[in-house]
Chain A
Amino acid sequence: MKPVVVKLIVVCGLNLLTGCAGPEPVAPWERGYLADPAMQWQRSAREAKFAGHVYTSKEASSGGSGAAGGGCGCN
């Protein structure tokens, strides 16, 4: 499963990087829906920080949402 997932993501990523995916041009006045809070990458900055702290403390994985912060002695 993993190689397939990786391949899919890499292909999508390359498309993004090269522009081959051909996203349709969106004029500035057509970006109302994109500006809706529903389109945020995070539910809220402080919630993202707290949730990230909880998951990182209880799972082996971390990272993926930007630069890492400081550690903790969480058990």
Chain B
Amino acid sequence: MSSFNRSTTRRRVLKGGAVLAGGAVLAPTVFTRGAWAEAFRNNPGDAGSVTLGFNVPQTGPYADEGADELRAYQLAVKHINGEGDGGMLNTMQPLALKGNGILGKKVEYVTGDTQTKSDAARASAKRMIERDGVVMVTGGSSSGVAVAVQSLCQDMGVIFMAGLTHANDTTGKDRRRYGFRHFFNAHMSAAALGPVLEAQMGKERRSYMLTADYNWGWSVEGSMTQVTENMGWETVSQVRTPLGAGDFSQYITPVLDSGADVLVLIHYGKDMVDSLTQAVQFGLRDKQVNGRNFEVVVPLYSRLMAQGAGKNVAGIYGSTNWHWSLQDAGTQAFVKSFGQEYGFPPSQAAHTCYVQALLYANAVESVGTFYPVEVIKFLEGFEFDGMGNGPTLYRAEDHQCFKPVLVVKGNENPSSQFDLLEVVQEVPTEQITYPHDLYAGDLGPYDV
């Protein structure tokens, strides 16, 4: 036993000694790191390149969106560095970017997996900021993640350009000085959908809402209820469903007997594909209730979801931020270069992320520094055009973009596997604008 002890001890001493020796060799690198003290975090200084952080869901329920977002970011980096055909750099107005990177520095990027979890997303963003020295973090496909990463970026003093996030909170209750959202929100969806639904379905409808049971769902539910009740609809019931339920039959069966004639499905991603498919399979769309055709409404639509639900989306109304079939020059330039690169049209998630990356790069180029305070001040109140949505304003008070919203309908006769949604109406900006203090929030300070 004593020999056992001695040899173990020696081994441990050797092991410890090796660790210490290794430490002594490496110690100097630790102390010199960060020696170029800076006025703000991750100042690229005289470096020849600058790093952006793309934080997208690569696993989990929104992985499809995340993959498309990453494609868009890679394309944006190419275009900013002057490779490829330039995409929206040819159409964006006003434009300061010269196609030689940002302020002459080549753009590089790091990627991370948010897993659609606040914790993982923040860990990933922190890695980008602390280890990789990124000047800007962007991405995400969920409002929970957007709010969490946005408040982290505020604490860290690094700009966050939100990806796909639709809840009102992101630029409402939880708005932050360092966070910017190009995507539209639940309030705008409801405001845009309202009049179209009224025109298509009349004023006397009874609606039944199935809502994903978390902040985004409640946000949309609140906005939709307000708008539909204002035009005379009656809300029969609001049922909350757990996220990722998979089987929605127990929630859909009661709809048949409730006397409702409109089903509002406030689901996203795979949940929406499942619940919509099941609603159609249960024959809701073929029913007549109160002498009217039964209708289904999906407030937040996306092409990726429509692809998942297939034929079932035919004739179903919803709203989107953008659609690839738009005919303006910005959209066409983007769809063309995305299609050439990857062989299929981009989703709205890809579009908003691509635009966000370009907007940040352009802001830095315009003010001539990466200093976030100057970049923020430039973006606040920035008006631009040629990015696929028509004239757009980044509102200074809440960092929300204001631009027309698309009301879309599932295509009855799609001509291709991507031609699933048809644009019913481009709702003008005035109709969806709301006062910035409608959802009270505090941006916080410029200097952190």
Q: Do A and B belong to a common assembly?
A: no
Q: Which residues of A contact B (CB under 8 A)?
A: none
Q: Which residues of B contact A (CB under 8 A)?
A: none
